[in-house]
Structure 1
């Protein structure tokens, strides 16, 4: 992991005063996103709302884009917990349904807009990659548990499986704006289970 990715990991798990600064700034950014939208996030306003000097914000995050991305990715990770229903179909259905619900929120919509509009820099690319690497490792627990229950084999590529599940949901929210109704979610879950060789 390079230095920028390491710094992102540290920002996600700070301690002491750094934790208080991070939480204050994150809360201020989320407040702005909820009140007036992600496009209106500005560091001077975040400084005023959080009580953290703008120089500290620039020193920690570098740019407005890095700040917004870090906040929205962190909020996503905290909100989308990994379900444990006792069955692969139940876990996949619960996770897909929660993702759809999250992407309907102001914060979820903000994350989609940031992902679609942000210009990649080494820092933003590292932050995004670190986030997805961690998310895929976390979601892999769904498939590990399924293998322990003998619902699947132990050689399932968890990353590919979860991409089959979540990519169409992101596509509908970002591009076609079609609803992700229960029938659609069920079809995605069935596709993932077929990929895993699990009985549907």
Structure 2
């Protein structure tokens, strides 16, 4: 008996293009109007897709917003391997700054903050984002430990490197300059050395 043939799905095909267009539309709308000030119909119009496509794939606007936040935030920070903890931290800080201060950085940050106050789906999105950030950091910190270094824990990196960058951008308190990033990394390394000693 011949197996029923399934249509082959092409990576990067129509579904991927629709997803990318819808994600970009959400990011643009959050940047233009702010969270809670647009509908699925607005997203569909901006992405040039039918609103039924959005409902079929995501079900609700909140599920779509959570998907956008998770995808944009979780996928942005690969852990570089420079051969030393200090080098890895500096590379990580520079990559994070590039994404946080990039063209979609503020919109995605506002979306993540808003979702954390938008009921259970938003809380799940926030928790998944933090878990992914922690996983990314842990890869870098475990690698340092394997080299015989004494790295800080992931929460210290979040508290002393990522959080100040997000706050600075959110409040418009100044640019994320290389000197500022170096200062954040130096502060973390000094505190780690004090804790170690």
Instruction: Give the TM-score band, short-chain normalised.
Output: 0.7 to 0.9
- The structure richer in helix per residue is 1
Name the TM-score, length of structure 2 as normaliser.
0.74
1:133 aligns with 2:131: yes
- DSSP 3-state at the match of 2:104: helix
Q: 1:97 aligns with which of 84, 94, 98?
A: 94
1:58 aligns with 2:55: yes
Q: Report deviation, 1:33.
A: 3.3
CA RMSD of the aligned region, Å?
3.2
1:165 aligns with 2:165: no
- DSSP 3-state at the match of 2:184: helix
Aligned residues: 183
Q: Report deviation, 1:126.
A: 0.5
Structure 1 segments unaligned to the other structure (5+ residues) = 1-15
Q: What CA distance in whole angstroms lies between the structure 2 residues aligned with 1:24 and 1:182?
A: 36
The answer (yes or no) to whether the contact 1:25–1:46 under 8 Å persists in 2 is no
Aligned to 2:65: 68
1:175 aligns with 2:175: no
Decide which moves more: 68-77 or 97-106: 68-77
Name the TM-score, length of structure 1 as normaliser.
0.74
Gap change, CA 1:35 and 1:57, over 3 Å in 2 = closer
Gap change, CA 1:130 and 1:82, over 3 Å in 2 = same
1:27 aligns with 2:9: no
- DSSP 3-state at the match of 2:80: coil
Q: Report deviation, 1:94.
A: 1.1
Structure of greater Rg: 2
- DSSP 3-state at the match of 1:81: coil
- TM superposition outliers: structure 1 runs of 4+ over 4 Å: 48-53
